[in-house]
Structure 1
Amino acid sequence: MITLGISDRAGRRVVLHEVDDENWRAVADVAPLAEQCRYVPALAARYLLLSLREGIWHSLAVCADDSVVGHIMWGRDEDGSYWLGGMLIDGTEQGKGVGRAAVRTLMEWLAQRQDCRELRLSYHPDNAVAARLYASVGFQPTDIASGDEVVASLSVLDGQPKDLNAPSR
C-alpha cells in the first residue's frame, strides 16, 4: 500500500494499493464519465490488461478510505524517467479531489526512488481538465509528443517533485 496522508475534499484518505485478488474486479469496473471516453477507455479493464500483458506498466487501485474509486499506473522508460499513466477515476467519484490526491501520492512515492530524476505523463491536448490537474501539481508541457498526446514533465530534486508543495493554481 502506498499512503502519504493525502485526503480528498471529503476528508477521505486516498491511498494506492497493488491490484490483487481482492480488488481487481472493482478496479476493472471503474468507468469515467461518458464525455471522457474520447480521452480514456470506457473501463479500467483495458489498463489492467496493458499492465498484465506488456510488462511495462504497473497498475494500482486508487482507494478513498476503503473503497476502490479509480485506477492509476506507473512505468519506467528506457531513458530512466518514470511515467504516470492510465489514471481513471470513476465518474461517480469525480470532482471530489480523488484524482489530484492519487496523482500527488504516486508522484511523491516515485520521487523517493533513488534513481528518479524526472516524472512524465501524457494527455490529449483537448483534455483541458487533465491539463489543469497536471499543471496544478507542477507538470509542464514539453515539446515532445507521444502519438497524439502532449508529454508533460516534472523534475525531481532530493527525492521530492520540484513543485509538490506549491499551492494549487
Structure 2
Amino acid sequence: MNISLEEIDKANYESVCDLDVADSQEEYVACNMWSLVESFYNTGYTCRAIYSDNLPVGFLMWVQESPYKISIWRFMVDKSYQNKGIGRKALTQAIDAIKQSPTVKEIEICYDPKNPVAKEFYSSFGFQEVGLDEEDDDMLAIIRL
C-alpha cells in the first residue's frame, strides 16, 4: 500500500469532501468541506489529501501559527480505510514535511480529551500533552524540534 500526501485541486476536491469518519467519531472531526473553505480564505493553511495508491482516503490540514509554530488542525481517515496503518503513515509524512520549514521549533496538535484513541496515538509520535486550550475543551500536545 503506497500512502502519499497530495495537493487538493479541482480534480480531487469533491472526492476529499465526500470522505467521512464513522458515526462515533463525528463529534471529534470537522467537515472536510468546511476546512477547505477555511483554508481558501486564510493565509498559512496547508491542506493535503491522504492517498492510498491512487485513491483519496483521508485529509490533513496544518496552519502556520507563527514563524516558529505549526498546528495540525485537521486529520482524518475515511471510515472505510481506518485500522490499516494509513493514518500513521500519513501523519509521519506530514510531520516530516512540517520539519522541512527551517524556522519551525514546535508542532502542535489538539484533540478532545474524551477521545479514547487520540492520546495514545499522538503520544506514539512524540507529542506531549501541555494542558487544555483556552476554552478548556481540547487537549494541546506538542513536539519540540
TM-score range, shorter chain: over 0.9
The equivalent of 2:47 in structure 1 is: 59
Runs of 4+ in structure 1 deviating by more than 6 angstroms, as ranges, are none
Choose which of 83, 86, 89 in structure 2 pairs with 1:101: 89
Q: CA RMSD in A?
A: 1.4
Instruction: Give the conservation status (yes or no) of the 8 Å contact 1:82–1:110.
Output: yes
The equivalent of 2:140 in structure 1 is: 151
Query: Which sections of structure 2, spanning at least 5 residues, go unmatched?
Result: none
Output one character per residue of 1:106-163: Cα deviation in whole Å (capped at 9) or x when no partner: 001111211111111100101121222111111010035153111100011xxxxxxx
Query: Which sections of structure 1, spanning at least 5 residues, go unmatched?
Result: 1-11, 157-169
State the alpha-carbon separation in 2 of the partners of residues 150 and 15 from structure 1. 28
Question: TM-score, normalising length from structure 2?
Answer: 0.92
Structure richer in helix, relative to its length: 2
Output one character per residue of 1:5-38: Cα deviation in whole Å (capped at 9) or x when no partner: xxxxxxx121111111111111111100000011
Output one character per residue of 1:60-112: Cα deviation in whole Å (capped at 9) or x when no partner: 10101111001001111136201112111100001111111111100011112
State the alpha-carbon separation in 2 of the partners of residues 122 and 65 from structure 1. 28
Instruction: Give the conservation status (yes or no) of the 8 Å contact 1:122–1:146.
Output: no
State the alpha-carbon separation in 2 of the partners of residues 111 and 86 from structure 1. 17
1:23 maps onto 2:12 in alignment: yes
Choose which of 21, 30, 36 in structure 2 pairs with 1:48: 36
% identity of equivalent residues: 26
1:92 maps onto 2:119 in alignment: no
State the alpha-carbon separation in 2 of the partners of residues 16 and 34 from structure 1. 25
